[in-house]
């Protein structure tokens, strides 16, 4: 059956067009019930509704199917995902509405439909002849959709009555819409709210905790004190942004001060780029990373970012008087000359609420169900949740979702989602840091694994038809110990004409991951492999990362080769790129390769090749540095783990060998050569990487620190910086140069991926290269896979596809890759921090030499070279007499009593793990040398006492 709609449409040019939309209706769409003999059975393997009852309900003892409406799915998705909720019909009307309103919820529903255990069924009611309805005159789209859902529920009930089953299956309509429920009951439909149904589940009383707390906007301020101003509606916000009354930007909360935030304004305007928001009412219920509308305050009310550290530790959520006191304290500490654009949040354009990890702060009131949840991320406010499991959840890491933030509530409302495990447990903390840094880490789905090659795998004749056979070459790889995802291998040999042939051979991952399939989409979403201290979260499945793509020794592997002909002065005479097949003759560690190069007795082909590569690498590095490339420093640590407990037993900074530099030089050269080639062929859609030059103000701290040691650092260009860093040496203080390079690293901007057609500045500041990309690590970086595809098309080794040459899609991809790389970096640092805490937990108190990196108003930030560890030594302690402090920002220096501290001064510190706050354990440091007498500065005895006593105090308080 065919229905059609005709309407007139005016084009931009003003012409009127007649549009006819055809809508096909069918009789053969199955209901999805496994026991139904009236419908066409679904294909084998497809999910279908089971005749057995789901969870036992006191409201409905008979077997039943559930039909939820759109709003219920949008707000109660955590309930719907619970294992107790099975046999659910998702109507096409509902799925289309969810898709239009929330992509993340729609994705979760698609996953539920694909899950064989959940028995969710998608019913195409909009194309079924008996359930399709036309919109009536004067009826809104929303009312029409509500009616369509009720019609589908009635049809299901009538249809299921015709089934020959012992016990008739009932259909229950779930809705939180009062009017829709009333209409359903009038029409004889069994309908309940989500809360009514969940509370009726006999075997699942704890499921009530997962109910989202949906406030009634009309009644939320009744009988309650209003704390926050009302948010303006979206239409007014958009009007205000258009007229320039309001500014739109991303809200960024402060980690140090819960009453302060900044809004990073969208757009290219240089003026008012960053706006300060200060005070509870001005923050107006915005949460970190929300997109907000801001109104600027009068210039006389502008403030500066305060240097005050404020943590929200209040238990009484309705007490706002203390907040006002703290806000006044912030205002008195402001220097008017330092004031910057300041504003207030007038409305939320887009919420960025996500599931949050943290811990429950149990209420002091006995039998209380309302408790505060403290997120692990200090930038997120505490959340009020209702739970009956408070005693069980105390001391556990849990996940909570925000539901809303009424005007009369000091904190947002939320609901409990999941218990992750005991706080401090290694597995639990690893899960927390992955979730908090948004690292996709679920096992690869079957849909993804279906696109892996079938085993046993081998290179076929078809594979070799467009490849060069380089298996005869003496190729080898050099990597860190225990590396299994080997991306790159090299060779070097002398040619008959006396020149050298050097090859960089990279795993041909793009051969296995074809554009657009589920494996490609998952790799693009993950963006990068994440390396934690004891765990690797792969970007691609292990069969590829550690086997078929990994260039292991003595097995044939597919590669993408970049081959140069060079003279002995490392000057490139010819460059060519080819898809190839190689057979690596050795998988070496950096230490093994170094041993071969240094050995006087070894002269085999592999060793000769390595020596040739090393000699050329030294020339390439010197030339690069002469051109202005920077050699910076960043302390990296390596943990030595106990073989049984897997706890860290030793912590050392990584030692870099000559072979590290050798591999780096050829990877850089390959990346530059490939960047030139793909840009030459695809000037508008080449995926490149740039490193912007830092603004001059970034270098202030470095220049001042060097000046305090009578050294001059020039920052006019990368070359000037590199040269002055080379000259900045003091014979009696050899470590000073490393400290300067560490400080210079902190001044740098973040390197980013970009699309060549969307940017004009290609320069890579740190490498002093006019163009650069990533080609050499496709097993662990998705950007390299795209570059491989571009290069393959450029040399005629593979075909193109539309997305590859769409610069807007490539720009969106780059945005995701930059985000994933940044999050991976933060997750890696968090993993190092956690393992460092484990190390010092077992060590007790440790005394070590350190160097001052930064001088603050009331503290010094020090670096301990032995551990590559950074920490802060505070000169003030709560409830202790404050020492005399004098800070000079120009030098910079800090005088404490009679002792003055300068950047790079050598000190001795005491290190201990402070476990007084289970959620935010930290390494505390106290000064040992130089000793400052007659002050309340924390020493090692008070630190030791504080670290051990506070948990006991907390326990006593809870018992009371």
Do both 716 and 576 map to the same domain? Answer: no
CA–CA separation, 504 vs 776, rounded Å? 9
- Residues forming a β-bridge with 350: 291
Residue 320: the pLDDT is: 55
Domain containing residue 922: CATH number: 2.40.50.140
Residue 585: the pLDDT is: 96
Sheet holding 64-68, edge to edge: 120-123, 88-91, 64-68, 170-174, 191-192
CA–CA separation, 148 vs 323, rounded Å? 50
Exposure letters 494-517 (e unless 16+ CB within 10 A, then b): eeeeebbbbbbbbbbbbbbbebee
Do both 706 and 682 map to the same domain? Answer: no
530-563 residue pLDDT tens:
999 888 999 999 999 999 999 999 999 999 999 9
Decide: 613 and 670 in contact? Cβ < 8 Å: no
Taken in order 96, 98, 102, 106, the sign of the CA dihedral is negative
Do both 523 and 592 map to the same domain? Answer: yes
| DSSP H helical ranges for 339-443 | 390-393, 426-436
Residue 643: the pLDDT is: 59
- Residues forming a β-bridge with 575: 564
Distances (CA, A) of 389 to 202, 210, 252, 414, 543: 17, 11, 33, 15, 42
CA–CA separation, 385 vs 362, rounded Å? 10
CA–CA separation, 425 vs 926, rounded Å? 27
Do both 934 and 821 map to the same domain? Answer: no
Decide: 190 and 397 in contact? Cβ < 8 Å: no
Radius of gyration of the chain (CA): 32
Domain range for 719 is 696-747
Residue 389 maps to a domain: no
What angle do the packed helices 518-526 and 782-794 form, to 10 degrees?
Answer: 120
Residue 1: the pLDDT is: 55
Decide: 137 and 70 in contact? Cβ < 8 Å: no
Distances (CA, A) of 280 to 34, 227, 351: 56, 9, 18
Do both 598 and 659 map to the same domain? Answer: yes
Do both 124 and 161 map to the same domain? Answer: yes
Give every CB contact of residue 465 below 8 A, 6+ residues apart in sequence.
none
Helices vs strands, H then E, count in the chain = 26, 38
Distances (CA, A) of 244 to 240, 248, 261, 771: 6, 10, 22, 38
Find the length of the chain: 960
Residue 35 maps to a domain: no
Residue 74 maps to a domain: yes
130-189 residue pLDDT tens:
999 988 888 898 999 999 999 999 999 999 888 776 778 889 999 999 999 999 999 999
Per the model's pLDDT, the better-predicted residue between 276 and 707 turns out to be: 276
The half-sphere exposure of 21 on its side-chain side, counting CA atoms within 13 A, is 5
Do both 672 and 594 map to the same domain? Answer: yes
Query: If you write DSSP's letter for every residue of 768-792 in order, what string do you get?
Result: TBS-----S-TTTBHHHHHHHHHHH
pLDDT at 378 over 70: yes
What are the tokens at 699?
A: 């270098």
153 burial via Cβ count (<10 Å: 0-12, 13-18, 19+)? buried
Residue spans of beta strands (DSSP E) within 383-487? 383-386, 396-404, 413-422, 468-469, 476-479
Residue 147: the pLDDT is: 94
CA–CA separation, 507 vs 579, rounded Å? 10
Residue 758 maps to a domain: yes
Residue 722: the pLDDT is: 87
Residue 216 maps to a domain: no
Going by C-alpha positions, the residue among 179, 283, 191 that lies closest to residue 231 is 283
Decide: 305 and 261 in contact? Cβ < 8 Å: no
Comparing 12-16, 546-550, 635-639, the range with the smallest average pLDDT is: 635-639
- Residues forming a β-bridge with 794: none
Domain containing residue 232: CATH number: 2.40.50.690
Q: How confident is the prediction for the chain on average, in pLDDT?
A: 86
851-905 residue pLDDT tens:
998 888 788 889 888 877 888 888 877 667 778 888 887 788 888 888 889 888 8
pLDDT at 952 over 50: no
Exposure letters 100-112 (e unless 16+ CB within 10 A, then b): eebeebbebbeeb
Domain containing residue 113: CATH number: 3.40.50.1010
Do both 855 and 868 map to the same domain? Answer: yes
Final residue before a domain boundary, out of 826, 858, 886: 826
- Residues forming a β-bridge with 123: 91
Decide: 437 and 826 in contact? Cβ < 8 Å: yes
81-91 residue pLDDT tens:
998 898 999 99
Comparing 256-260, 446-450, 669-673, the range with the smallest average pLDDT is: 256-260
Provide the 8-state DSSP code for 251: E
Residue spans of beta strands (DSSP E) within 25-94? 64-68, 88-91
438-495 residue pLDDT tens:
999 999 999 899 999 999 999 999 999 989 999 999 999 999 888 899 999 999 999 9
Do both 472 and 562 map to the same domain? Answer: yes
Q: What are phi and psi of 867, to 5 degrees?
A: -105, -5
Decide: 294 and 341 in contact? Cβ < 8 Å: no
Residue 218: the pLDDT is: 44
Structural domains in the chain (count): 5
Do both 201 and 345 map to the same domain? Answer: no
Going by C-alpha positions, the residue among 95, 48, 102 that lies closest to residue 68 is 95
Going by C-alpha positions, the residue among 934, 913, 918, 768 that lies closest to residue 843 is 913
What are the tokens at 435?
A: 């979730």
Decide: 377 and 288 in contact? Cβ < 8 Å: yes
Do both 548 and 685 map to the same domain? Answer: yes
Per the model's pLDDT, the better-predicted residue between 373 and 309 turns out to be: 373
Name the 3-class secondary structure at 940. helix
Distances (CA, A) of 240 to 230, 232, 265, 562, 712: 16, 10, 14, 55, 50
What are the tokens at 153?
A: 């529920």
What are the tokens at 99?
A: 């898709």
Residue 329 maps to a domain: no
Give every CB contact of residue 515 below 8 A, 6+ residues apart in sequence.
789, 801, 803, 804
Mean pLDDT of 355-380: 86
Decide: 936 and 883 in contact? Cβ < 8 Å: yes
Q: pLDDT band at residue 636, thresholds of 50, 70 and 90?
A: low
Going by C-alpha positions, the residue among 807, 816, 114, 118 that lies closest to residue 518 is 114
Final residue before a domain boundary, out of 730, 747, 764: 747
Residue 176 maps to a domain: yes
CA–CA separation, 777 vs 773, rounded Å? 11
201-253 residue pLDDT tens:
988 888 888 888 766 544 444 445 788 999 999 999 999 999 989 999 999 99
CA–CA separation, 123 vs 787, rounded Å? 42
How many CB atoms within 10 Å of residue 326?
17
What are the tokens at 809?
A: 């899609």
Query: If you write DSSP's letter for every residue of 848-868 in order, what string do you get?
Result: EEEEEEEE-SSEEEEEETTTT
Residue 5 maps to a domain: no
Final residue before a domain boundary, out of 726, 747, 768: 747
Do both 683 and 702 map to the same domain? Answer: no
- Residues forming a β-bridge with 292: 249, 348
């Amino acid at each position: 059956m065919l229905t059609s709609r005709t309407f007139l449409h005016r084009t931009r040019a003003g012409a009127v067009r007649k549009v006819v939309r055809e809508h096909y209706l069918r009789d053969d769409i199955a209901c999805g019930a496994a026991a139904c003999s009236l419908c066409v059975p679904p294909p084998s393997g497809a999910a279908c509704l089971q005749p057995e009852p789901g969870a036992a309900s006191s409201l409905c003892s008979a077997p039943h199917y559930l039909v939820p409406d759109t709003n219920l799915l949008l707000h109660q998705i955590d309930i719907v995902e619970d294992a107790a909720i099975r046999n659910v019909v998702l109507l096409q009307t509902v799925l289309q509405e969810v898709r239009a309103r929330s992509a993340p919820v729609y994705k979760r529903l698609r996953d539920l439909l694909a899950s064989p255990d959940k028995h969710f069924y998608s019913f195409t009611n909009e194309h079924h002849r008996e359930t399709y309805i036309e919109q009536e005159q004067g009826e809104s789209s929303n009312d029409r959709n509500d009616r369509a859902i009720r019609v589908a529920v009635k049809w299901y009930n009538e249809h299921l009555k015709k089934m020959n089953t012992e016990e008739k299956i009932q259909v229950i309509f779930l809705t939180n819409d009062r009017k829709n429920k009333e209409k359903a009951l009038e029409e004889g439909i069994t309908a309940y709210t989500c809360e009514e149904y969940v509370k009726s589940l006999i075997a699942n009383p704890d499921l009530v905790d997962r109910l989202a707390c949906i406030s009634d906007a009309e009644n939320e301020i009744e009988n309650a004190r209003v704390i926050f101003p009302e948010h303006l509606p979206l239409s007014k916000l958009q009007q205000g942004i258009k007229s320039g009354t309001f500014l739109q930007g991303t809200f960024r909360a402060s980690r140090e001060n819960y009453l302060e935030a900044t809004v990073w304004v969208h757009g290219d305007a240089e003026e008012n780029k960053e706006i300060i928001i200060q005070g509870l009412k001005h923050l107006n219920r915005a949460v970190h990373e929300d997109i907000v509308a801001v109104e600027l305050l009068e210039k006389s009310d502008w403030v500066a970012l305060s240097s005050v550290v404020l943590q929200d530790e209040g238990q009484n959520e309705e007490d706002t008087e203390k907040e006002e006191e703290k806000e006044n304290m912030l205002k008195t500490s402001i220097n008017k000359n330092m004031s910057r654009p300041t504003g207030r949040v007038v409305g939320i354009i887009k919420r960025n609420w996500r599931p949050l990890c943290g811990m429950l702060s149990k209420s002091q009131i006995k039998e209380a169900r309302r408790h505060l949840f403290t997120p692990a991320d200090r930038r997120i406010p505490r959340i009020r949740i209702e739970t009956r499991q408070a005693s069980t959840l105390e001391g556990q890491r849990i996940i909570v979702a925000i539901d809303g933030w009424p005007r009369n509530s000091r904190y947002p409302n939320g609901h409990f989602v999941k218990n992750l495990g005991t706080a401090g447990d290694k597995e639990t903390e690893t899960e927390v840091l992955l979730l908090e840094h948004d690292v996709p880490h679920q096992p690869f789905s079957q849909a993804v694994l279906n696109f892996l090659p079938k085993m046993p795998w081998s290179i076929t004749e078809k594979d070799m038809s467009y490849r060069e056979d380089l298996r005869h070459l003496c190729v080898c790889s050099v990597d860190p110990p225990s590396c299994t995802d080997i991306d790159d291998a090299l060779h070097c040999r002398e040619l008959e004409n006396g020149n050298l042939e050097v090859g960089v051979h990279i795993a041909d991952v793009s051969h296995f991951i074809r554009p657009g399939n589920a494996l490609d989409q998952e790799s693009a979403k993950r963006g990068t492999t994440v390396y934690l201290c004891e765990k690797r979260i792969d970007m691609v499945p292990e069969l590829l990362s550690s086997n078929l793509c990994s260039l292991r020794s003595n097995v044939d592997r597919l590669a993408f080769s970049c081959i140069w002909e060079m003279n002995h002065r490392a000057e490139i005479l010819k460059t060519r790129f080819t898809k190839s097949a190689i057979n690596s003759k050795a998988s070496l560690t950096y230490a093994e390769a170094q041993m071969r190069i240094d050995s006087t007795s070894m002269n085999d082909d592999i060793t000769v090749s390595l020596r040739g590569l090393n000699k050329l690498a030294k020339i390439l590095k010197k030339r690069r540095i002469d051109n202005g490339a920077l050699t910076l420093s960043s302390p990296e640590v390596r943990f030595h783990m106990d073989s049984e407990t897997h706890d860290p037993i030793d912590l050392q900074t990584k030692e870099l060998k000559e072979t590290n530099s050798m591999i780096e030089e050829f990877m850089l050269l390959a990346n530059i050569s490939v960047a030139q080639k793909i840009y030459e062929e695809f000037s508008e859609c080449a995926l490149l990487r740039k490193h912007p030059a830092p603004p001059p103000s970034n270098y202030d701290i470095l220049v001042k620190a060097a000046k305090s040691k009578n050294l001059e650092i020039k920052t006019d260009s990368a070359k000037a910086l590199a040269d002055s860093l080379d000259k900045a040496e003091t014979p009696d203080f050899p470590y000073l140069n490393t400290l300067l390079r560490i400080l210079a690293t902190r001044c740098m901007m973040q390197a980013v991926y970009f699309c060549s057609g969307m940017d004009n500045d290609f320069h890579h500041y740190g490498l002093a290269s006019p163009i650069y990309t990533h080609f050499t690590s496709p097993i662990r970086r998705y950007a390299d896979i795209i570059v491989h595809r571009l290069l393959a098309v450029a040399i005629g080794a593979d075909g193109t596809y539309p997305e590859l040459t769409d610069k807007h899609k490539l720009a969106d991809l780059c945005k995701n890759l930059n985000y994933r790389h940044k999050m991976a970096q933060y997750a890696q640092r968090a993993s190092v921090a956690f393992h460092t805490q484990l190390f010092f937990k077992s060590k007790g108190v440790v005394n070590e030499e350190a160097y001052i990196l930064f001088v603050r108003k009331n503290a010094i930030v020090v670096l301990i070279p032995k551990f590559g560890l950074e920490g802060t030594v505070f000169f003030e302690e709560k409830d202790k007499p404050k020492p005399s402090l004098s800070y000079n920002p120009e030098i910079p220096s800090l005088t404490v009593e009679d002792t003055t501290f300068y950047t790079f001064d050598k000190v001795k510190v005491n290190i201990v793990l402070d476990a007084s706050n289970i959620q935010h354990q930290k390494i505390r440091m106290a000064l040992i040398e130089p000793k400052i007498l007659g002050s309340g500065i924390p020493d090692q005895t008070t630190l030791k006492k504080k670290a051990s006593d506070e948990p006991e105090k907390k326990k006593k308080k809870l018992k009371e």
